Amino acid sequence: MYTARYLGAEGFGILSFALAFTGIFGVFSDLGLSTLTVREVARDKSMAQKYLGNIAVMKIFLVVITFGLIALFINLLDYPEQTIKVVYLVALSVIFGAFSGMFNSIFQAYEKMEYVSVGRILSSALMLSSALFAISQGFSVVGFASIYFIVSAVVLGYSFAVCVRKFVLPKIEVDWSFWRPTIKEALPFD
C-alpha cells in the first residue's frame, strides 16, 4: 500500500508489469521439477542428493532459457529503458526463487515445513522493512526492483544453508539417464 502510494501510478505500474511479465516466463524455470522432487524424495530419502544434484544443473539450464526469453521479449516489445531494468531485476529474483523452491522441495519431502515457513516469513519481513527503508531514502522504481532481487538472494542463502546443515549437501551431478525420464515425469506437475 505504501509502495503504491509512494511510486505513484506510473512507477507502481512498471513494477506490477515486471512482476506479471516475469511471472509468465517464470513457469519455465521449474517445469514441475520441485513437485516431482517432493514426491520422489518423500518416498525414498536416500534419493535426496541425486535429485538435488541433478535438478540443480537442470535448473541452471532452465533459468538461462527463462532469462533469455525474458530478455528477448522485453527488448522486442521496445519498452523504455527504466522498465527493462526493472524487468531484469525482477527476473533475477524469479531465478533465485526457482532455486529456493528447489531447496523447499527437500524440506517438504522431509516434512519439515517449518523451514519453508521461516523462509516465507524472512522474505515478507525483509520486503516490508526494505520497502519502508526505500521510501524513507527516496528510491526510484529501479531501487524497489532491487529489493526483490536482494530479498530473493537472502532467502536463497537461507534455504541453501538450512539444506546443507540439516539435510543434504548438494553435489552437482549430471546423470543423463536420470534427466530424460525425470523431465518427462515432471511436466504434468507444471
Residues 146-185: tens digit of each pLDDT: 999 999 999 999 999 999 999 998 888 898 899 889 988 9
> Would the pLDDT of 190 be above 80?
no
Count of the separate structural domains present in the chain: 1
Q: What is the pTM of this model?
A: 0.90
Report pLDDT for 2: 77
Query: How far apart are the C-alpha atoms of 7 and 144, rounded to whole Å?
Result: 9
The percent of residues above 70 in pLDDT, for the chain, comes to 99
Residues 61-103 have pLDDT tens digits of: 999 999 999 999 999 998 999 999 999 999 999 999 999 999 9
* C-beta separation of 104 from 160 below 8 A: no
Query: How far apart are the C-alpha atoms of 17 and 119, rounded to whole Å?
Result: 25
Query: How far apart are the C-alpha atoms of 96 and 84, rounded to whole Å?
Result: 19
Domain that residue 8 falls in: 2-189
Residues 26-43 have pLDDT tens digits of: 889 998 999 999 999 999
> Would the pLDDT of 1 be above 80?
no
